Amino acid sequence: MTAEARRSLPPLPPRDRIRRVHVIGICGTAMGTIAAMLKERGFAVSGSDVAAYPPMSDWLADRGLDILPGYQESNICADLDLVIVGNVARRDNPEAVAAQALGIPAISLPEALRVFFFAERTVLAVTGTHGKTTTTSMLAWLLYAAGRDPSFLVGGVTANFDSNYRLGDGDLFVIEGDEYDTAYFDKVPKFWHYPATHATINNIEYDHADIYPDMASIEHVFRRFAGQIPARGSLWVNGDDPRAKACSTGVAAKVRSFGLGADNALRGEIVALDSTGVLMDVFLNGEACGRATIPMIGAYNARNFLGACALALSVGVPVAESIEHIATFRGVKRRQNVMAEIDGVVVIDDFAHHPTAVRETLGAVREHYPEARIWAIFEAKSNTSRRAVFQDDYPPAFAAADRVVLSRPWKQDNLPEEQRISIPRVVDAIRDLGKEVDLISEVDDIVCQVADLARPGDVIVGLSGSNFGDLHAKLVAALRDRK
């Protein structure tokens, strides 16, 4: 469970005296991004991590950021001015301990954003259990295409910018509002730190079982976030999601709704779901605004666009203009990312790992490829997916797939066995639903079997919250090597 209030900032040197910054956990998507942002602003930045792998390691190298391997006391020098601590670090992290011993102030990523990047900006925050990264990326593109020159930080690499972030000269900062906790010394949701003037709540479901014991605790942190938005601001909520609506009551900001239901202020009416994405008519307060062509598959991406369009509207971008610009949105890496098509076999990489995200992603793939044999290859590795809380929710999430392959249970020694999801039980339950399913322990063995059995017309979807042992690249290579 999180703390009830964010901490006060520790004493920091004057801004013009901060020159050297060290980032603990630099290979986290957001941590690597803050490191690159600071480097772009002229700071000398170092960073360390124990989990350096592509694409983040390559992304950092391209930006001139070296990764110090492991967490070592020797990485903390007395001439550092500031340490930024990722939530992967615990209180006994050698570098965190060394920084404290040397009197070097330590702050979290959200605190660093407030100190260095949010000043004199209007902050727009995208929140919710699902769709944050895509919606934030859409919003950033809509504002950029409208000539607003926004800054942004998003939890994925946007294809339009080929980056996780942008530092613009405009007065807007777009941020993905994550409800995960902040740092060992500041155990509150990240989005409590964000001084949002305008925000969305896309949806609310149970997630992050390592932090939140129940649904009520998650609803609590969203209510608190909504309550922070000032009266001059706006809160857009997914009117099709009862929890999102409930968490927006009694707040100071003006609350409006978006969604596909008839009662929403900003409403979409889907005309077609086809090979190009989603075709949707859009209405604001009952007035037709135009027909949007959303170049991403799945009805959930129609809602993601409506959320982005709503926030753009709050800062003066007409709905009709957003409809025009969404047609040139190019998506986000690891969200329905088609890696390759080899001899008629399509390989897709997707970040989905929550059972709802798995279900929606596979459903969208089925809509996009109605005649295909769809393979779903899944890894339970995230803090939530490897817990027993969703034991019964995963099997039906694979309903749109024809064949399912599950990898070995992720080894996590600090999680008691009775709290771990049983992958063999998931396999049995999927088989009871009439699906072909295999449990294959090693990634290389998965690659061999799938490459051997795949045939033209198949679509293979790899689903994981991590890089899945480089599954996708290995599978693409194996398919190309077939005789």
CB 193 within 8 A of CB 110: yes
Complete DSSP assignment for 122-155 = EEEEEESSSSHHHHHHHHHHHHHHTT---EEEEE
What is the predicted pLDDT for the residue at 409?
A: 63
pLDDT in tens, 189-241: 999 999 999 999 998 987 777 778 888 988 999 999 999 999 999 999 999 99
pLDDT at 112 over 80: yes
The DSSP output letter for 160 is T
What is the predicted pLDDT for the residue at 412?
A: 58
Is residue 28 classed as helix, strand or coil in its secondary structure? coil
Q: Region 100-112: what's the mean pLDDT?
A: 95
According to CATH, the topology of domain 337-481 is Protein-Tyrosine Phosphatase; Chain A (3.90.190)
What is the predicted pLDDT for the residue at 335?
A: 66
CA 320, 322, 324, 325: dihedral to nearest 10 degrees?
170
What is the predicted pLDDT for the residue at 413?
A: 55
What is the predicted pLDDT for the residue at 75?
A: 94
Average pLDDT of the chain is 88
What is the predicted pLDDT for the residue at 58?
A: 84
| All structural domains of the chain with their residue ranges | 17-109, 117-326, 337-481
pLDDT at 188 over 60: yes
Q: 17-109 in CATH: which number?
A: 3.40.50.720
Tokens at residue 113, please?
């954003």
What is the predicted pLDDT for the residue at 239?
A: 95
CB 312 within 8 A of CB 142: yes
Q: What percent of the chain has pLDDT above 90?
A: 48
pLDDT band at residue 146 under the 50/70/90 scheme: very high
What is the predicted pLDDT for the residue at 291?
A: 95
What is the predicted pLDDT for the residue at 383?
A: 73
pLDDT at 463 over 80: yes
pLDDT in tens, 71-82: 999 999 999 999
Q: Which of 53-57, 64-68, 138-142, 374-378 has the lowest mean pLDDT?
A: 53-57
What is the predicted pLDDT for the residue at 330?
A: 84
| Distance in angstroms (rounded) separating the CA atoms of residues 296 and 33 | 25
Q: Which residues does 471 contact at the CB level (< 8 Å), separation at least 6?
A: 377, 379, 443, 446, 447, 462, 464
pLDDT in tens, 308-349: 999 999 999 999 999 999 999 987 776 667 777 888 888 888
pLDDT band at residue 305 under the 50/70/90 scheme: very high
Q: Residue 47: beta bridge partners?
A: 23
pLDDT band at residue 17 under the 50/70/90 scheme: very high
Does the domain at 117-326 match CATH 1.10.3720.10? Answer given as no
What is the predicted pLDDT for the residue at 178?
A: 87
CB 373 within 8 A of CB 400: no
| Distance in angstroms (rounded) separating the CA atoms of residues 355 and 434 | 19
pLDDT at 372 over 80: yes
| Distance in angstroms (rounded) separating the CA atoms of residues 294 and 137 | 13
Tokens at residue 170, please?
């405009």
What is the predicted pLDDT for the residue at 21?
A: 97
pTM of the predicted model as reported, rounded to 2 decimal places: 0.84
Q: Which of 25-29, 89-93, 385-389, 443-447 has the lowest mean pLDDT?
A: 385-389
Between 275 and 97, the higher pLDDT residue: 97
The DSSP output letter for 86 is -
SS (HEC) of 280-312: EEEEECCEEEEEEEECCCCHHHHHHHHHHHHHH
Q: What percent of the chain has pLDDT above 70?
A: 96
